[in-house]
């Protein structure tokens, strides 16, 4: 088994090519993961903002709801003047 130096001096062309290809795959994978994470964070943030907006809208709507005002009358039982208060 041969051991090659990190600098790449003395390594055959296929080892250098393989090293470069693995590095490119890792770099592309890192960028893909970073972009995926940013997109997911943006979607979750937009969903959270939409939820907060909806709750504030609901609270404002409840505060400005019309109050129903109507006439009323009290209904009392008629008592005979001969009834004692108990």
Tens digits of per-residue pLDDT, 47-67?
999 999 999 998 888 776 666
Q: Which of 43, 21, 40 is nearest to 32 (CA)?
A: 40
Q: Where are the alpha helices (DSSP H) in the chain?
A: 13-63
Residues 6+ apart with CB under 8 A from 4: 10, 11, 15
Q: Which of 14, 20, 16 is nearest to 5 (CA)?
A: 16
Confidence (pLDDT) at 15: 85
pTM recorded for the entire structure:
0.50
**Whole-angstrom Cα Rg for the chain:** 39
Q: How many residues does the chain have?
A: 86
């Amino acid at each position: 088994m041969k051991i090659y130096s990190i600098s790449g001096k003395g390594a055959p062309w296929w080892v250098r090519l393989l090293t470069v290809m693995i590095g490119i795959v890792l770099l592309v994978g890192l960028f893909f993961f970073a972009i995926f994470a940013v997109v997911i964070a943006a979607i979750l943030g937009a969903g959270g903002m939409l939820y907060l907006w909806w709750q504030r809208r609901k609270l404002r709507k409840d505060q400005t709801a019309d109050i129903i005002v109507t006439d009323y009358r009290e209904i009392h039982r008629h008592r005979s003047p001969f009834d004692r208060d108990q």
